[in-house]
């Protein structure tokens, strides 16, 4: 049984746009869920302490009740004979291996619930409810519900999944049975999307104790030409990073600070460019935000810092500025917080280079730097929107060895960090990365 979790939460009112601060107490045990929120004012430390203490009191009461129940059960077990105690321990061991709940067997008499015999269609409906509300089936609680288009995609996949495996149980789900469903339609993007959503479902089943296996882990995807998909690294090495920023200085010097914030500051693309609001049925479900600008960057402080606007988890961050990033930011330049597209100047035509979207200008730099290639024999370089940020996380951890500090600076969960961290980068190369100042590249 997992302990209750206590987290600080920040939400945005859809109508007024004002931010609300709360301390969230969340507990989940099987189908039982308890959620309590205690509001506070960020300007009043006492109100925060009071809200936090209320949540801590609930958790303390839960721990006390658990201890009392354990003492009670322990006393009753001690009253059994040694033979009965040994039989009970053996029964618990067998039930754990077989996936049988002894509690449900006693509660329901002869109606023993074998979790592996759960209908996959019913489990998918429970999974979709959790997915929509932002929970991933474990202790982690997301700070906001899933985007409407993500929920719509999972719901659509679920309809086909339930129809294809109608009447089947979770215990019958194997790699051999799931693989034909993933590959029944053509298209690499379809295969990737379907496998990802099914993998989330089976991971949710593991987290909730319905199964111990995820059959999707053994399924290998192929590229559009039918070849097995190679391992993808989402990180530049030091030489590639130097080449990229060197071309930036030569071709787009006004964008040096813009790219440095991602590569040496770890900002998400959305935290630099801003994010458009997400709408569903004409109503805003997730508010938009303006990206970082020079007013959020304090270079003259005794300890230079930057205030990073709230990203995926709706939490603002205040990070110290690394000396390497500081050198790049002192060059000045243009930041485009309005979705990465600068506004037209008087008399300027739309097709001019200065008005092109940032992602297209970045693509020009990549082509010139010739960074489309392969690092290692089996690793393709994945140019996604957060490649520079992933490079920052890998290099920071490799150079300084403090995983918790790196995760805090990036505003990530540990699971997400591990997904994008590149273990091929070692301390020696990472330290060279943090020496990539403008002066070192111009020489």
CB 422 within 8 A of CB 233: yes
Count of all residues that appear for the chain in the document: 443
Q: What is the pLDDT of residue 5?
A: 87
Q: What is the C-alpha to C-alpha distance for residues 288 and 404, in angstroms, rounded to an integer?
A: 29
Return the minimum-mean-pLDDT range out of 89-98, 203-212, 369-378.
Answer: 369-378
Residue 422 phi, psi (nearest 5): -105, 110
pLDDT digits (tens, 9 = 90+) for 132-176: 766 544 434 444 456 566 778 888 888 899 889 988 888 888 888
425 vs 145, more confident: 425
Nearest CA to 173 out of 213, 115, 128, 123 is that of: 213
Q: What is the pLDDT of residue 234?
A: 67
Q: What is the widest separation between alpha-carbon atoms in the chain?
A: 93
pLDDT digits (tens, 9 = 90+) for 254-277: 889 989 999 999 988 778 877 666
314 φψ region: left (φ > 0), alpha (ψ -120 to 50), beta (else): left
Nearest CA to 7 out of 68, 59, 47, 85 is that of: 59
**Residue 107 scores a pLDDT above 60:** no
Q: What is the mean pLDDT of residues 46-67?
A: 85
171 vs 320, more confident: 320
Residue 319 phi, psi (nearest 5): -110, 145
Percent of residues, the chain, with pLDDT higher than 70:
70
Q: What is the pLDDT of residue 246?
A: 92
pLDDT band at 245 (very low <50, low <70, confident <90, very high): very high
pLDDT digits (tens, 9 = 90+) for 367-417: 787 765 434 333 445 566 778 888 999 999 999 988 888 888 888 777 777
Count the Cβ atoms, other than its own, within 10 Å of residue 213: 16
**Residue 109 scores a pLDDT above 50:** no
pLDDT band at 212 (very low <50, low <70, confident <90, very high): confident
CB 264 within 8 A of CB 326: no
Percent of residues, the chain, with pLDDT higher than 90:
10
Residue with tokens 């009112």: 13
**Torsion 331-332-334-337 (CA) sign:** positive
115 vs 173, more confident: 173
CB 411 within 8 A of CB 443: no
Q: What is the C-alpha to C-alpha distance for residues 300 and 330, in angstroms, rounded to an integer?
A: 10
Beta bridge pairs of residue 37: 24
Return the minimum-mean-pLDDT range out of 106-120, 121-135, 392-406, 413-427.
Answer: 106-120
Q: What is the pLDDT of residue 261?
A: 92
8 vs 431, more confident: 431
Count the Cβ atoms, other than its own, within 10 Å of residue 170: 21
For 58, residues 6+ apart whose C-beta sits below 8 A from its C-beta are: 4, 25, 36
CB 258 within 8 A of CB 271: no
Q: What is the C-alpha to C-alpha distance for residues 404 and 252, in angstroms, rounded to an integer?
A: 35
Q: What is the pLDDT of residue 326?
A: 94
Count the Cβ atoms, other than its own, within 10 Å of residue 264: 28
Q: What is the mean pLDDT of residues 292-309?
A: 87
Q: What is the pLDDT of residue 114?
A: 45
Residue with tokens 């690294």: 233
Q: What is the pLDDT of residue 322?
A: 94
Q: What is the C-alpha to C-alpha distance for residues 234 and 256, in angstroms, rounded to an integer?
A: 21
In whole angstroms, how large is the CA radius of gyration of the chain?
26
CB 221 within 8 A of CB 299: no
pTM: 0.51
């Amino acid at each position: 049984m997992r302990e209750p979790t206590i987290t600080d939460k920040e939400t945005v009112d859809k109508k007024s746009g004002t931010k609300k601060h709360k301390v969230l107490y969340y507990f989940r045990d099987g189908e039982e869920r308890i959620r309590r929120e205690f509001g506070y004012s960020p300007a009043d430390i006492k109100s925060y302490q009071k809200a936090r203490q209320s949540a801590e009191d609930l958790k303390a009461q839960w721990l006390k009740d658990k201890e009392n129940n354990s003492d009670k059960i322990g006393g009753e077990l001690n009253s059994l004979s040694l033979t009965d105690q040994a039989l009970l321990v053996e029964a618990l061991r067998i039930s754990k291996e077989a996936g049988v709940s002894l509690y449900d067997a006693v509660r329901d008499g002869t109606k023993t619930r074998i979790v592996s015999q759960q209908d996959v269609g019913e489990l998918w409906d429970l999974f979709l409810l959790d997915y929509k509300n932002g929970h991933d089936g474990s202790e982690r609680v997301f700070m906001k519900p899933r985007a409407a288009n993500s929920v719509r995609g999972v719901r659509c996949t679920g309809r086909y999944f339930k129809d294809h495996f109608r009447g089947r149980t979770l215990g019958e789900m194997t790699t051999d049975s799931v693989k034909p469903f993933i590959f029944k339609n053509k298209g690499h993007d379809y295969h990737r999307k379907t496998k990802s959503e099914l993998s989330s479902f089976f991971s949710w089943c593991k987290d909730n104790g319905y199964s111990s296996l995820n059959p999707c882990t053994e399924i290998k995807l192929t590229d559009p030409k039918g070849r097995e998909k190679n391992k993808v690294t989402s990180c530049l090495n030091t030489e590639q990073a130097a080449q990229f920023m060197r071309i930036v200085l030569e071709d787009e010097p006004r964008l040096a600070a813009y790219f440095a914030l991602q590569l040496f500051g770890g900002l998400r693309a959305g935290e630099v460019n801003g994010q458009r609001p997400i709408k569903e049925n004409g109503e805003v479900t997730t508010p938009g935000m303006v990206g970082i600008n020079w007013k959020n960057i304090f270079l003259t402080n005794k300890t230079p810092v930057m205030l990073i606007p709230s990203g995926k988890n709706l939490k603002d961050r205040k990070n110290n500025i690394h000396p390497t990033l500081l050198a790049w930011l002192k060059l000045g330049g243009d930041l485009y917080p309005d979705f990465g597209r600068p506004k037209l100047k008087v008399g300027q035509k739309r097709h001019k280079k200065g008005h092109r979207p940032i992602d297209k200008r970045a693509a020009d730099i990549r082509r010139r730097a010739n960074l489309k290639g392969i690092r290692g024999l089996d690793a393709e370089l994945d140019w996604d929107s957060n490649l520079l940020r992933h490079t920052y996380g890998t290099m920071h951890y490799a150079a300084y060895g403090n995983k918790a500090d790196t995760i805090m600076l990036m505003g990530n969960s540990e699971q997400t960090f591990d997904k994008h961290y590149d273990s091929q980068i070692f301390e020696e190369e990472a330290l060279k990365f943090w020496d990539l100042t403008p002066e070192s590249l111009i020489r």
